[in-house]
């Protein structure tokens, strides 16, 4: 995990990443908004949780946090969730009914520590409102994004993510063609349903983001993108036309492991074509 950084007057990023052999680097970000009622947006990776708390403490006294905005309960967003809820009784977790249900399958949160917010609804933070909306792409039905009407930042969850080839602090420092390729790869992995959507309906969801016109797109899986919405949207319009992503099969994985470690896993014996049954 990297050190926390300030990205606007009142917004901070807690950046980390995952290296995926053969593909590249997937940024994994959480954010803090120092509103009158401070909010943590997402909770990072589980293996990062000790560092995550230290990074958070560099930004804010976590006991001052009023809200955790959980964009969805995937493992790359919930790493420090339960530790924070247990340690700081004043914080309440914003999610959806579906998100609450998914969390309850493993580690239920006490109902009085949860606050349900649906797309179209707003949350008052004292000095601003957050507007909840459905992002154009997502990999979990509980997902929401949130727009800060004061900073004009869109916290877009998995949407607008990209696989990158080298670490970057700002999206504008990624070469344009690399960013385009990384966005298309990410969206084909994260939202495989894109290939079967009605193109005009998907375009309408992107147009709604265009109308919102955030100055800053803060994806969980992209470095902060300032004044880059037209470029990001232009690429996403193409996403439904991308080929389906197919990961390496066992033979390809064995080659990768041999290259990385010098040894490959023991493979199962091939099944005889007659199923091993002698006539």
Stretch that binds Fe ion, among 7-15, 73-81, 91-99, 100-108 (CB under 5 A): 73-81
- Tell the smallest beta-carbon distance from residue 221 to Fe ion (Å): 6
Residue 160 C-beta: closest distance to Fe ion, Å: 11
Which residues lie below 8 Å from residue 111, measured CB to CB, with a gap of 6+? Answer: none
Instruction: Rule CB under 5 A: say whether 37 interacts with Fe ion.
Output: no
Sheet containing strand 39-41, strands side by side: 5-6, 11-20, 24-33, 39-41, 67-69, 92-95, 114-116
Mutual angle of helices 199-212 and 229-238, in 10-degree steps: 170
Q: Does 158 bind Fe ion (CB under 5 A)?
A: yes
Is-contact 76 18, C-beta < 8 A? Answer: yes
Nearer to Fe ion, 74 or 148 (CB): 74
Rounded distance between C-alpha atoms, residue 231 and residue 235, angstroms: 6
Q: Is 148 among the residues that bind Fe ion (CB under 5 A)?
A: no
Question: What's the closest the beta carbon of residue 220 comes to Fe ion, in angstroms?
Answer: 5
Task: Quickly tell me which residue has 């009158």 as its tokens.
Answer: 36
- Complex with Fe ion: residue 10 or 74, whichever CB lies closer: 74
Is residue 139 close enough to count as binding Fe ion by CB under 5 A? yes
- Between residues 37 and 76, which has the closer beta carbon with respect to Fe ion? 76
- Which residues neighbour 181 within 8 Å (Cβ) at sequence distance 6 or greater? none
CB nearer to Fe ion: pick between 70 and 153: 70
Residue 76 touches Fe ion, criterion: CB under 5 A: yes
Q: Hey, which residues between 219 and 238 contact Fe ion (CB under 5 A)?
A: 220
Smaller CB distance to Fe ion: residue 62 or 99? 99
Closer CB to Fe ion, residue 27 or residue 214?
Answer: 27
What DSSP element (H or E) covers 103?
Answer: helix 97-104
Report the alpha-carbon distance of residue 207 to residue 233 in Å, rounded.
9
Which single residue brings its beta carbon nearest to Fe ion?
A: 74
Q: Which residues bind Fe ion (CB under 5 A)?
A: 74, 76, 139-140, 158, 220
């Amino acid at each position: 995990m990297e050190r926390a950084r300030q990205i606007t007057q009142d917004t901070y990023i807690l950046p980390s990443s995952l290296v995926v052999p053969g593909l590249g680097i997937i940024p994994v970000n959480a954010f803090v908004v120092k509103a009158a009622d401070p909010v943590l947006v997402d909770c990072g990776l589980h293996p990062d949780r000790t560092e995550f708390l230290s990074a958070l403490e560099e930004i804010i006294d976590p006991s001052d946090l009023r809200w955790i905005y959980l964009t969805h309960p995937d493992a790359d967003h919930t790493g420090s969730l339960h530790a924070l809820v247990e340690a700081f009784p004043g914080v309440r977790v914003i999610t959806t009914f579906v998100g609450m249900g998914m969390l309850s399958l493993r580690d239920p949160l006490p109902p009085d520590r949860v606050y349900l917010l649906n797309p179209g609804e707003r949350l008052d933070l004292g000095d601003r409102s957050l507007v909840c909306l459905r992002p154009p792409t997502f990999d979990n039905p509980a997902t929401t994004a949130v727009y800060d009407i004061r900073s004009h930042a869109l916290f877009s969850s998995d949407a607008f993510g990209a696989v990158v080839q080298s670490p970057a602090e700002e999206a504008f420092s990624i070469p344009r063609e690399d960013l385009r390729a990384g966005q298309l790869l990410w969206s084909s992995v994260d939202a495989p349903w894109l290939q079967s959507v009605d193109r005009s309906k998907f375009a309408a969801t992107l147009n709604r983001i265009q109308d919102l016109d955030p100055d800053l797109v803060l994806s969980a899986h992209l470095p902060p993108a300032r004044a880059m919405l037209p470029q990001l949207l232009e690429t996403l319009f193409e996403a439904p036309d991308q080929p389906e992503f197919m990961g390496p099969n066992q033979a390809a994985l064995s080659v990768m492991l041999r290259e990385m470690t010098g040894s490959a896993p023991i493979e199962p014996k091939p099944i005889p074509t007659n199923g091993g049954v002698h006539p």
